[in-house]
Amino acid sequence: MCGIVGYIGNRNACEVLVEGLKRLEYRGYDSAGVALFADSHIDVIKTPGKVSRLESMTSGVQAARIGIGHTRWATHGEPNTVNAHPHTDCTGNFAIIHNGIIENYSSLKTKLTLLGHSFRSQTDTEVLAHLIEEFYSKTRSTEMAVRLALKEVNGTFGIVVMSSSEPDVLIAARRGSPLLIGLGDSENLIASDASALISHTRNVLYLHDNEIAIITRDNVSLKNLDDEAIEREAEHLTFDLEQIEKGGFDHFMLKEINEQPETIKNALRGRLIDADGISKMGGLRDVEDKITNARRFVILACGTSWHAALVGKYILEQCANIPVEVDYASEFRYRNPVLMDGDVVWVMSQSGETLDTLAALREAKVKGAPVYGIVNVVGSTIARETDAGVYIHAGPEIGVASTKAFTSQLAVLNLINLLVSRRRRTISAEQGRAIVEEMERLPEKIEQILGQRDEIEAIAEEFKDSRNFLYLGRGVNFPVALEGALKLKEISYIHAEGYPAAEMKHGPIALIDENMPAVFVAPGDSTYDKILSNIQEVRARKGNVIVISNEADGRLKDLAKYIVQIPKTIDILSPILSVIPLQLLSYYIAVKRGCNVDQPRNLAKSVTVE
């Protein structure tokens, strides 16, 4: 997501920062900026778009020997110049860069506004600059002001602060967002990611949660937020640049699959109200009545997003008792779709740029329907053109085959379901609380599934040479079967079909023999007994059965060749868990077949053509 670089030493700071920011480009971002100290003041230079644009804007800047730089992936507020980092306080004495999310930023902003601070941006980060300014006016110490400010903050942060009144020090701190300090010879660097440092030094100090680093040209000292000193040995980095960019994983897709405990937390952060068993989403606040009173939802999407929409249909019809129609955006735009009074249209897109989805959005608006977005990329065209919406906060997805965005879309659909179901009184507060509780447990359950990667890799080894695969599921897990089949064909080029398990007997059963693996998504929900009969039907024809289930009863063990055990959860959340073994299975099969996992042939991450 966002990237951080800081420099203090004897060289041209601007050059070092821009070079570091270029190394962080692979993480995805939408604006970039630097703050540099020279001639007794801090200059901030920032721009939406690429680091190369920032580079041309800073080409003549040479005097600074200390500075901070940032690439921003928007979370609060559009990706424009004002919202880009660094941010400054009222006086311009402090500049700050920040990764993470300040959850209580809006109450802090209200407090600070009452104290006379004036805000320029829509970001949560700017609140920190003013909070530090406020504490500095009382303590006259940047370090102390940062420490006191951070004690007021809920949420996650990796920050670096510089000040024109103490221009020979950088203060960094972290909680939840990584930071490491590169130790040089009469110079020190700080970054969110080793790739920005490695061309300067391989000796690094990792900052831990709730720690502050005080970094000067010749010294680095670490403290906790209670001002107690911390001793830590430096580490020597041995890996290369490419390994770092992929977070030590072999491919971006595997990295993104493994990020899911974190991305689900990000999708839910600050949006669940435990006590009332309901959710809140800032982007929908003004349209809650319209959503609650809708007569029908129409969800438009393409590809993996369309599969997520299908899961949404099951969930919303089951809990909120609202009719939901799901349509391929490309079909919707070329039909004469019927939209009626009381319809609410949702468009769902990871990139926010898929042309068919955008055209469907425009068509729905022409027909007078309110159109809301469920989007990952902040400030993307779809996010801008919808009347309101929710961001899924999955961070940049680089692997072409969507993984973490899918589960984050499901998490957000569940948030919407919770909001609508509670407001329509189709579920009680107690039922709402039970859903909230289960949602909060998802990250740890995903971790458990990721821990079974070796077993899943062994299954991949056995079936990597198969020419066809069948994926079967029922109810809310039927779309998961579709998604499993899509993942496999996208990256391994094996033909795979997803089907509702009971429909199998109306066609695909003719294909089953000992060469055909059939993957069943069969958690122990209301359709479990029925799906066991479908598994019997495949076994009777010598098909190889792989089952993803949270049941381990004897019947299943007798029938399945392999069972991937997933933790139990409530039915409406089970797709968030059951899809993960399918992502891993296709990943390992594709790797074993020597395919280009991150950039499969003929596919694009963002399809901006018809």
Closer to ligand G6P by Cβ: residue 86 or 575 = 575
Q: Taking CB under 6 A as the rule, does residue 386 contact ligand G6P?
A: no
As measured in angstroms, the least distance from the Cβ of 257 to ligand G6P is: 14
* Residue from the set 71, 188, 258, 402 that interacts with ligand G6P by CB under 6 A: 402
* Residue from the set 71, 163, 330, 351 that interacts with ligand G6P by CB under 6 A: 351
Q: Are 436 and 418 in contact (CB under 8 A)?
A: yes
Q: Taking CB under 6 A as the rule, does residue 429 contact ligand G6P?
A: no
Alpha helix segments (H runs only) across 140-279: 142-151, 241-245, 252-258, 260-268
Q: Taking CB under 6 A as the rule, does residue 403 contact ligand G6P?
A: no
Q: Taking CB under 6 A as the rule, does residue 357 contact ligand G6P?
A: yes
2 is annotated as an active-site residue: yes
| Three-state secondary structure call for residue 258 | helix
* Residue from the set 71, 350, 477, 544 that interacts with ligand G6P by CB under 6 A: 350
Structure tokens at 431: 């039922």
Closer to ligand G6P by Cβ: residue 307 or 422 = 307
The C-alpha R_g of the chain, in whole angstroms, comes to 26
Helix/strand/coil (H/E/C) assignment for every residue in 262-299: HHHHHHHCCCEECCCCEECCHHHHHHHHHHHCCCEEEE
- Applying CB under 6 A, the span of 7-15, 244-252, 350-358, 432-440 interacting with ligand G6P comes to 350-358
Cβ-closest residue to ligand G6P? 303
As measured in angstroms, the least distance from the Cβ of 308 to ligand G6P is: 8
- Applying CB under 6 A, the span of 107-115, 298-306, 440-448, 579-587 interacting with ligand G6P comes to 298-306
Q: Taking CB under 6 A as the rule, does residue 93 contact ligand G6P?
A: no
Rounded Cα–Cα distance for residues 610 and 608 (Å): 7
| Residue among 351, 348, 354 nearest 411 (CA) | 348
Q: What are phi and psi of 340, to 5 degrees?
A: -115, 165
As measured in angstroms, the least distance from the Cβ of 380 to ligand G6P is: 9
Residues paired with residue 189 on neighbouring β-strands, in sequence order = 7, 182
Closer to ligand G6P by Cβ: residue 401 or 556 = 401
> Largest Cα–Cα distance of the chain, in whole Å?
82
Q: Taking CB under 6 A as the rule, does residue 381 contact ligand G6P?
A: no
* Residue from the set 125, 192, 354, 414 that interacts with ligand G6P by CB under 6 A: 354
605 is annotated as an active-site residue: yes
| Residue 322 DSSP symbol | -
- How many of the chain's residues bind ligand G6P (CB under 6 A)? 16
Rounded Cα–Cα distance for residues 165 and 169 (Å): 10
Task: Give helix 574-592 / helix 404-423 axis angle, nearest 10°.
Answer: 170
Rounded Cα–Cα distance for residues 329 and 310 (Å): 13
Closer to ligand G6P by Cβ: residue 75 or 123 = 75
Nearest 5°: the CA angle 462, 465, 467 is 125
Structure tokens at 292: 């609650």
Q: Taking CB under 6 A as the rule, does residue 359 contact ligand G6P?
A: no
Provide the annotated active-site residues. 2, 605
Task: List residues binding ligand G6P (CB under 6 A).
Answer: 302-305, 349-351, 354, 357, 400-402, 603, 605-607
